[in-house]
């Protein structure tokens, strides 16, 4: 009798989750185009003018999010003057993936998409977890990366983990069971306060959850992909960190000194002490969401990279 009752409850939760996924995907439909790469189908939003001088800007989001977190407000502001490419990382937003992927494979997929878009060189801007991805792109495809901007980016191993729930969700059998039953209904209660905490000490902008389509994370497939990315993150940065001194393109690491999510000392400062052509910007009183707290500062650094990359070409002509 108890077993039957448990199965009934699980069945109801699975049904509730599937109905919830349906409504979330209707509320937050894809806004860009799809590109097929080996092992994934990536959702890409291409904004701004095509005929401006200088390399386009590629914006890549971090964990627990999608391209909307880089579009509002940064991507929309940049697109007034530059071509801007926003990408849902594999398995996130409206991008799919057929298996769990290392940052090296995700970097290859993004490089493949840029090739399909005929973008030879770009300024790559990454946030939080995507720091490891941007650095991997710069290491493996330096000809494609004209400059790299990390916003509160992860670059090195750190003390501690990434939350016990991520470890549980990536456990065989138990993880998928949780993802397809309780994650969405429970997440609907916790997503907004959790997102507010990431913004602290700044306030979360009004209507941010809707504008950035954050609730898409609660879909089982994306929640599992996100958890996998997090639990494998430390091993990935440990493996690639010894190579950072190879980087020759301009690298800017920008972080808030009040960030309690990604330590600016462990990651940003150490990175800039390692790369040959680096610049550290610490923003006083700013938390983890640098692109929202100081978009004008981020834009200034991107503009300087674009200008520096464009001048030699103009002189050569």
Judge contact between 125 and 250, C-beta under 8 A: no
Of 30, 85, 95, 24, the closest CA to residue 57 belongs to 85
Question: What share of the chain has pLDDT > 70, as a percent?
Answer: 98
Q: How far is CA 145 from CA 133, 141, 312, in A?
A: 12, 7, 16
CATH assignment of 32-307? 3.40.50.1820
Alpha-carbon torsion angle 292, 293, 294, 295, nearest 10 = 10
Q: What is the C-alpha separation between 21 and 23, in angstroms, rounded?
A: 5
User: Cα 267 to the chain's mean position, in Å?
Assistant: 16
Q: For the full predicted model, state whether its pTM sits above 0.85.
A: yes
Tokens of 45: 């939003």
Residue range 203-227, pLDDT digits in tens: 999 999 999 999 999 999 999 999 9
State the average pLDDT over residues 25-32: 98
Residue 58 in this model has a pLDDT that exceeds 70: yes
Residue range 262-304, pLDDT digits in tens: 999 999 999 999 999 999 999 999 999 999 999 999 999 999 9
Maximal CA-CA distance, the chain = 81
Q: Where are the domains of the chain?
A: 32-307
pLDDT of the residue at 313: 56
Q: How far is CA 134 from CA 165, 206, 225, in A?
A: 26, 29, 18
């Amino acid at each position: 009798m108890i077993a039957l009752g448990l199965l009934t409850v699980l069945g109801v939760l699975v049904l509730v989750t599937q109905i919830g996924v349906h409504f979330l995907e209707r509320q937050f439909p894809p806004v860009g185009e799809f590109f097929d790469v080996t092992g994934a189908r990536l959702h890409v939003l291409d904004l701004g003018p095509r005929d401006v001088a200088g390399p386009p800007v590629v914006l890549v989001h971090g964990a627990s999010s999608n391209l909307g977190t880089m579009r509002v407000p940064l991507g929309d502001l940049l697109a007034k003057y530059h071509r801007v490419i926003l990408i849902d990382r594999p398995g996130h937003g409206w991008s799919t993936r057929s298996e769990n992927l290392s940052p090296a494979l995700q970097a290859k997929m993004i490089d493949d998409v840029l090739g399909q878009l005929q973008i030879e060189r770009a300024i790559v801007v990454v946030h939080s977890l995507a720091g490891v991805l941007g650095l991997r792109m710069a290491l493996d495809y330096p000809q494609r990366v004209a400059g790299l901007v990390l916003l509160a980016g992860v670059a090195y191993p750190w003390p501690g983990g990434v939350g016990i729930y991520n470890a549980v969700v990536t456990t065989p059998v138990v993880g998928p069971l949780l993802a397809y039953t309780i994650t969405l209904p429970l997440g609907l209660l916790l997503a907004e306060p959790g997102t507010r905490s990431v913004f602290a000490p700044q306030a979360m902008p009004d209507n941010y959850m809707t504008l950035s389509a954050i609730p898409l994370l609660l879909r089982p497939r994306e929640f599992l992909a996100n958890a996998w990315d997090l639990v494998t993150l430390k091993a990935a940065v440990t493996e690639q960190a010894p190579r950072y001194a190879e980087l020759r393109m301009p690298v800017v690491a920008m972080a808030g000194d009040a960030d309690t999510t990604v330590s600016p000392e462990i990651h940003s400062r150490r990175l800039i002490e390692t790369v040959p052509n680096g610049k550290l910007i610490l923003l006083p009183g700013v938390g983890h969401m640098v692109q929202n707290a100081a978009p004008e500062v981020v834009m200034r650094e991107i503009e300087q990279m674009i200008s520096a990359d464009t001048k030699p070409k103009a002189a050569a002509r």
